[in-house]
């Protein structure tokens, strides 16, 4: 309950309320874009400074390996589950969305852990970047397989030809937000303590206020996307809430086996439980045009994102504290 009264979370709740009331309150897209880039830059710097202090240890490699494993496991399990009541294209698109990560959910969790005094490794920001692309690649492979199967069966319903993996990989790996995160992390590693002291007013003092402002915008967007899911099957709505819990539980089990710390485990759980609503939908819209955007975008932003921000984050942290 304490996390619910965090100012940043309350601004998110206020945004949902304002959006539900159909208020004309809105954050201009350019400002929203700036806020997201600022948060990623600040997060990358924090991670880089932490890595400069700790170095590349066995714990870092274990965490990155666990992140990569979850980035492959989650979309595959999601596709197998969703394929029972969806066509191959929608199942692949939603699996990619839930197999990738939400940077804002991760950043909010970092702030929550700082508030709770729970330590974590700065390298987890690199884990987040590592988990963004595998789900996209898997989804494109699955969609191409569905197209080939449709052609073999004489079904001409596919809206597009096979998508070249090279182009998808280029789009995923050169995404501006991801490059900024990695670039800021590299700068943090190179500059170390001197850079940390110089950038503190930017990457620390402003962080909480910027996050609150951005979560206000996210609350508005979430409220306006909930309506897209009216009339959808109950199975989809259940997956939007149960899927993240299952994915987080898998991450917890993996972290327990690997002996990861509480803070790193909580962040791995959040990454596994989150769903992309920016990078992946933008790529999937072009790579899998047969899929229905209102499903994968509406589910991730309208249902799963609010659930994780309001309920999931404290739940995952408490689970990590209890089991580790």
In this model, does residue 264 exceed pLDDT 60?
A: yes
d(CA 102, CA 49) in angstroms, rounded, equals 22
Mean pLDDT confidence for 243-261 = 96
Eight-state DSSP code of residue 22? T
pLDDT, residue 172, reads: 62
pLDDT tens-place string over residues 74-117:
999 999 999 988 888 999 999 999 999 999 999 999 999 999 99
Q: What angle, 0 to 180 degrees and rounded to 10, lies between the N-to-C axes of helices 103-116 and 262-273?
A: 150
Mean pLDDT confidence for 36-55 = 86
Helix, strand, coil in percent for the chain, rounding step 5: 80, 0, 20
User: Is the backbone of residue 117 left (phi > 0), alpha (psi -120 to 50) or beta?
Assistant: left
Per-position DSSP letters for 161-177, written without gaps between them:
-PPPHHHHHHHHHT-HH
Give residue 34's pLDDT band: very low, low, confident or very high (50, 70, 90). very high
d(CA 132, CA 105) in angstroms, rounded, equals 13
In this model, does residue 253 exceed pLDDT 60?
A: yes
Give residue 18's pLDDT band: very low, low, confident or very high (50, 70, 90). very high
Radius of gyration of the chain (CA): 19
In this model, does residue 232 exceed pLDDT 80?
A: no
pLDDT, residue 250, reads: 97
d(CA 49, CA 192) in angstroms, rounded, equals 5
Residue 201 parent element (H or E): none
d(CA 110, CA 124) in angstroms, rounded, equals 10
pLDDT, residue 134, reads: 87
What average pLDDT is seen over the chain? 87
In this model, does residue 308 exceed pLDDT 80?
A: yes
pLDDT, residue 43, reads: 87
The fraction of the chain above a pLDDT of 70, given in percent, is: 91
In this model, does residue 279 exceed pLDDT 80?
A: no
Taking every pair of Cα atoms in the chain, the longest distance, rounded to a whole number of angstroms, is: 64
pLDDT, residue 164, reads: 64
Three-class SS state of 78: helix
Decide which of 1.20.1530.20, 3.40.47.10, 2.40.50.140, 1.10.10.10 is the CATH code for 29-222+232-323: 1.20.1530.20
Mean pLDDT confidence for 263-273 = 97
Classify residue 217 by burial, with Cβ atoms within 10 Å: 0-12, 13-18, 19+: buried
| pTM tops 0.75 | yes
pLDDT tens-place string over residues 132-190:
888 888 888 888 877 777 777 665 544 555 666 666 666 666 667 778 888 898 999 99
pLDDT tens-place string over residues 193-227:
999 999 999 988 898 899 999 899 989 988 888 87
pLDDT, residue 321, reads: 96
Mean pLDDT confidence for 27-31 = 90
Classify residue 235 by burial, with Cβ atoms within 10 Å: 0-12, 13-18, 19+: middle
The fraction of the chain above a pLDDT of 90, given in percent, is: 47
Query: Is the pLDDT higher at 54 or at 169?
Result: 54
| Domain coordinates in residue numbering, the chain | 29-222+232-323
d(CA 91, CA 57) in angstroms, rounded, equals 38
Per-range mean pLDDT, top range of 48-62, 128-142, 207-221, 273-287: 207-221
pLDDT, residue 168, reads: 65
Classify residue 129 by burial, with Cβ atoms within 10 Å: 0-12, 13-18, 19+: buried
Q: What angle, 0 to 180 degrees and rounded to 10, lies between the N-to-C axes of helices 313-323 and 262-273?
A: 140
Tell me how long the chain is. Answer: 324
């Amino acid at each position: 309950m304490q996390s619910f009264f965090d100012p940043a979370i309350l601004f998110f709740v206020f945004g949902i309320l304002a959006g539900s009331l159909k208020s004309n309150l809105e954050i201009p897209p350019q400002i929203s874009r700036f806020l997201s880039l600022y948060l990623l830059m600040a997060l990358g710097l924090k991670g880089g400074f932490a890595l400069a202090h700790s170095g590349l240890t066995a714990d870092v490699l274990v965490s990155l390996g666990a992140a990569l494993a979850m980035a492959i496991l989650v979309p595959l399990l999601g596709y197998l589950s969703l394929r029972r009541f969806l066509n191959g294209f929608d199942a692949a698109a939603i699996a990619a969305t839930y197999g990738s990560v939400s940077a804002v959910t991760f950043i909010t969790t970092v702030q929550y852990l700082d508030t709770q005094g729970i330590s974590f490794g700065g390298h987890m920001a690199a884990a987040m970047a590592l988990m963004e692309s595998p789900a996209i690649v898997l989804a494109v492979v699955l969609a191409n397989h569905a197209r080939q199967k449709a052609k073999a069966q004489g079904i001409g319903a596919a809206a597009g030809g096979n998508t070249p993996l090279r182009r998808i990989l280029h789009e995923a790996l050169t995404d501006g937000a991801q490059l900024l995160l990695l670039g800021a992390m590299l700068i943090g590693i190179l500059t170390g303590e001197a850079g940390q002291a110089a950038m503190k007013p930017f990457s620390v003092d402003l962080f909480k206020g910027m996050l609150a402002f951005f979560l206000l915008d996210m609350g508005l967007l979430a409220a306006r996307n909930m309506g897209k899911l009216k009339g959808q099957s109950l199975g989809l709505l259940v997956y939007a809430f149960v899927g993240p819990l299952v994915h987080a539980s898998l991450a917890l089990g993996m972290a327990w086996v690997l002996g990861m710390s509480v803070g790193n485990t909580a962040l791995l759980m959040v990454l596994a439980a989150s769903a992309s609503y920016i990078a992946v939908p933008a790529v999937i819209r072009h790579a899998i045009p047969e899929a229905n955007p209102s499903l994968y975008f509406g589910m991730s932003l309208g249902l799963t994102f609010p659930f994780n921000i309001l309920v999931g984050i404290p739940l995952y942290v408490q689970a990590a504290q209890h089991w580790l």
